[in-house]
Structure 1
Amino acid sequence: MLILVRHAHAGDKRLWPFGDVDRPLSSRGQQQAEGLARQLGGLPVTRLVTSPYRRCRQTLAPLSEVLDLEPELSALLAPDAGLDEAEEMLLDTGADGSLFCTHGELLNGLLRRWRADARVEVPAAPDTTAKGGSWIVERSGGRAVAHYLKPLRVVDLRGAEGAQAAAQ
């Protein structure tokens, strides 16, 4: 098993006055990062690998604390990284147990490729990965299947817990 994550919400890059590498998560993105830690914190993840971009590092910060793992930086996960090199890293059997945080450009390109060549079975929907969304890729018997997890914000969890408490 490996997990692919698109970084959480970071606002509009056209409105960020500095370099895109340094664009931080928005408050919505911070909530998505916390939701990601709740969604994935119980899975057998042994390694965190992230794009060096600030928003990717921040996306993994809560999960890093939960798992007590220090994220590794990889330029192969940057938005302008080559699909071939990134795919080679992700599909290597040594990637089992790893979680990779990247950008929509790279992630959606990989998913389109995998749908086209059936190297990884990827459902047709969604055709793009939402910010803060993730894909769990399970491998068994030479077959790989990807499952999508929608982004979850902690605010959504608190709202659901509050609604459940009120209903009881």
Structure 2
Amino acid sequence: MTDTAVYAAGGVIWRVVDGKLMVLVIHRTAYADVTLPKGKVDPGETLAETAVREMFEETGIRVRLGIPVGVSRYRMPSKRQKIVHYWSAQATEDAIRASAFVPNREIAALEWIAPKKALTYLSYPVDVEILENFLRFVDDGVLETFPIIVLRHTKATSRSDWDGPDTMRPLTERGTRQAAAIVGPLQAFGVRKIISSDAVRCVTTVAPLAATLGKKIERTPLISQDAWEAGTSDTRAVVGRRVRSGKPAVLCSHGPVLPEILSELALATGTLRGSYLGSASALEPGAFSVVHLSATNPGSGIVAIETHEPQP
């Protein structure tokens, strides 16, 4: 992020009613316009956290993020550039029923409409462009998706400063802070399953997430660095199980193992391998890549990959 630009995030909230796709638009009170839900990043927030929070604040609907559907850029009256990141977000029936939205000083009304109508209804060309991006995925047969998140453990004590077994190497103070900071971003993508290398630095990285979600950490040596170095790792088995499950999951592992995990994700989904896999696996400690797969046909290939930088 730059100091001069204003960053914001939001999404295309969608549902299927009687077999028909509908998207949610908001009528803003002060501006008398029709737009997509979005809002500015709060201090300390990641864009993913902002998107989920803003969609909830403006609509009352709690969502998890799906595929990224574009970035809009435009100049505000102050001449500063505003950069808005958008994701697809499915509104479940339970989430809609739980919404406590009432018209307020900011939002006059919410409206579910057909996408084609929304293209002519939205007030701003940048919103139309985002919705068109979303609809291209729909036209390709991709609507409902689930993420497999590949996470490199946060900052650990260096090997040169550690006398014990490598698998017992702990996190540094910075690594502990990073582990707490990634809870929000990982929650934004709806993580429900936590799989970790059995190394202490990996388990400790996902411990705050597990505590927040009330989930157990599934520890496995199959994606550990020790097993990888010994030639006994089995990333294929771990990845295959996660793809078949169709549930949002995070795999916490080590720098040298990540390329293999991404490669196995490509193989398991029938995706052509390319340089993008290298970029998605070249993660710094505490960074993660979100691999989006089709929930209805995971074998149709990786839909999208997005990489999130580590927290300070």
TM-score (norm 2): 0.44
In structure 2, stretches of 5+ residues that fail to align are 1-146
Asked whether the equivalents of residues 16 and 23 of structure 1 are also in contact (C-alpha less than 8 Å), the reply is yes
Work out the CA distance in 2 between the residues paired with 1:126 and 1:143. 16
Deviation of residue 137 (structure 1)?
0.7
Q: Which residue of 1 aligns with 2:187?
A: 41
Work out the CA distance in 1 between the residues paired with 2:233 and 2:161. 31
Q: Which residue of 2 aligns with 1:107?
A: 258
Asked whether the equivalents of residues 3 and 100 of structure 1 are also in contact (C-alpha less than 8 Å), the reply is yes
Q: Percent identity?
A: 24
Equivalent residue letter for 1:24: P
Equivalent residue letter for 2:291: V
Q: Which residue of 1 aligns with 2:291?
A: 137
Q: Which residue of 1 aligns with 2:239?
A: 90
Q: Which residue of 2 aligns with 1:165?
A: none
Change (3 A) 1:90 1:121: farther
Structure 2 residue 172 is matched with structure 1 residue 23: no
Deviation of residue 88 (structure 1)?
3.8
Change (3 A) 1:149 1:93: same
Work out the CA distance in 2 between the residues paired with 1:129 and 1:21. 20
Asked whether the equivalents of residues 263 and 273 of structure 2 are also in contact (C-alpha less than 8 Å), the reply is no
Please tell me whether Structure 1 or Structure 2 has the larger radius of gyration of its CA atoms: 2
Work out the CA distance in 2 between the residues paired with 1:25 and 1:139. 31
Equivalent residue letter for 2:234: E
Deviation of residue 38 (structure 1)?
2.0
Asked whether the equivalents of residues 120 and 143 of structure 1 are also in contact (C-alpha less than 8 Å), the reply is no
Asked whether the equivalents of residues 83 and 109 of structure 1 are also in contact (C-alpha less than 8 Å), the reply is no
Deviation of residue 112 (structure 1)?
6.2
Q: Which residue of 2 aligns with 1:160?
A: none
Q: Which residue of 2 aligns with 1:128?
A: 282
Q: Which has the higher helix share?
A: 1
Asked whether the equivalents of residues 111 and 122 of structure 1 are also in contact (C-alpha less than 8 Å), the reply is no
Structure 2 residue 310 is matched with structure 1 residue 151: yes
Q: Give the total of aligned pairs.
A: 153
Asked whether the equivalents of residues 224 and 233 of structure 2 are also in contact (C-alpha less than 8 Å), the reply is no
Q: Which has the higher strand share?
A: 2
TM-score (norm 1): 0.78
Alignment RMSD: 2.7
Asked whether the equivalents of residues 150 and 250 of structure 2 are also in contact (C-alpha less than 8 Å), the reply is yes
Deviation of residue 126 (structure 1)?
6.0
Q: 1:47-96 CA deviation, whole Å, 9 max, x = no partner? A: 11111110101100111122111101111110133598313421432263
Q: In terms of mean alpha carbon deviation, does 116-125 or 57-66 score higher?
A: 116-125
Q: 1:80-135 CA deviation, whole Å, 9 max, x = no partner? A: 33598313421432263111111111103444677897258836546621011111
Work out the CA distance in 2 between the residues paired with 1:76 and 1:84. 4
